[in-house]
Chain A
Amino acid sequence: MAERKVTVAAEVGLHARPAATFVQRAKKAPMDITVTKSHGGEKVNGKSILAIMALDVRQGETVVISAEGEGSEEVLDELAEIAGTP
């Protein structure tokens, strides 16, 4: 299992455009992608815009993005960049 810990930088948090961009990228990945807040809580499906909106990540909060299998590192790098973009 590969992981990236990233602090969400966008003013709107992981909502609207950042959330849509994140989910679009995650959906292209062949493996499961999960997202959870770094301080614990539910692991949600990174390919679901509904799940990401429900997670309600605000600006400055840190999330852990996880994936497993071939190509995970590359996918996670891209997802971490999206989540960390102001």
Chain B
Amino acid sequence: MTTVLAPVEGEAVRLAAVPDPVFSAGLVGPGAAIDPLRGPGKAVAPIAGKIMKLHPHAYVIVGDDGKGVLVHLGIDTVQLRGEGFQLLAAEGDRVIAGQPVVAWDPALIEAGGRSPVCPVVALDADFVSGVAEGAVHVGDELFRWD
């Protein structure tokens, strides 16, 4: 079983509430989303493993069991081409759960007219359990993947 941690602080919401059908319809996979606390912060690794993909606006960590978790920092943020994001790790790095990966500011994303909500997705999973709702701190349990 993999315990997936909150990569950012904020309000845990259901994926269905994400304003992007790719995530809200579960096309990428099941999981949860976090409406992040506005202000500068560091998004962390939700599980231990290797950083398989690292974009400024999104990253995928793959655990030793091959399970991959996607963290997407805001919606349509690929359009920002990295502006407002600072990488704190590199692709291929091994990270522990809770290790900072990207520094960003959800308030700036929102000021730019985009939703800063962060989908956290269990890639290729059929379902997840124990999905948190309400206030979460960085590193709190967000959901479990059996």
Contacts and interface: CB of A to CB of B under 8 A. Distances in A.
Interface string B4-36: 000000000000000000100001110000000
Interface stretch (A1-9, A12-20, A35-43, A70-78): A12-20
| Secondary structure of the A contact surface, majority rule | helix
A50 B78 contact: no
B48 interface: no
B15 to A, nearest CB: 13
A40 B124 CA distance: 25
Interface in B38-63: 52-53, 60, 62
Nearest to A11: B78
Given A17-B22, A20-B22, A50 B27 contact: no
Which 9 A-B pairs rank lowest in CB-CB distance, beginning with the nearest?
A20-B27, A50-B68, A50-B123, A17-B22, A20-B28, A49-B123, A20-B22, A48-B124, A50-B124
Interface of A: 12, 16-17, 20-21, 24, 48-50, 53-54, 56
28 contacts: A12-B78, A16-B22, A16-B78, A17-B22, A17-B27, A20-B22, A20-B27, A20-B28, A21-B27, A48-B123, A48-B124, A49-B28, A49-B29, A49-B123, A49-B124, A50-B52, A50-B60, A50-B62, A50-B68, A53-B53, A53-B60, A53-B68, A53-B70, A53-B123, A54-B52, A54-B53, A54-B60, A56-B53
